[in-house]
Amino acid sequence: MFKVGQKVVCIKETPSGSVKDGEIYTVGWVGNCKYTGEVGIRLIETTPANGKLNFSYWRFREVDESWVEELLCKLMSEVEADELVSA
């Protein structure tokens, strides 16, 4: 399940276009909808002034950022190797 502050990507756009496929959002709240009992989330980027715009959790998936750290580590090791060769 999602956590507040987590980045999520939309995989099922809303009919109104409030959230769009492929766009990344930040979770601002997670809870149960009092009308349906379904788990819902609020997004920081789309929350109106009254803070009541909820979306079904199944419209989103977790953003996997683990590859970024792996890539940065690889780049850092390549830079260090180049520095050793040129020294």
| DSSP 8-state class, residue 18 | S
CB atoms within 10 A of CB 42: 20
pLDDT in tens, 11-49: 999 998 899 999 999 999 999 887 778 889 999 998 776
DSSP state of 6: -
Q: What is the mean pLDDT of the chain?
A: 86
- The answer to whether 29 and 39 are in contact (CB under 8 A) is no
More confident site: 7 or 80: 7
Element (H, E) at 80: helix 66-86
Domain extents in the chain: 7-86
Residue 79's pLDDT is 80
Please answer whether residues 24 and 8 qualify as being in contact, where contact means their C-beta atoms are separated by less than 8 angstroms. Answer: yes
CA atoms within 13 Å, Cβ hemisphere of 83: 6
The answer to whether 21 and 74 are in contact (CB under 8 A) is no
pLDDT reported for residue 35:
77
| Adjacent-strand bridge partners of 40 | 31, 56
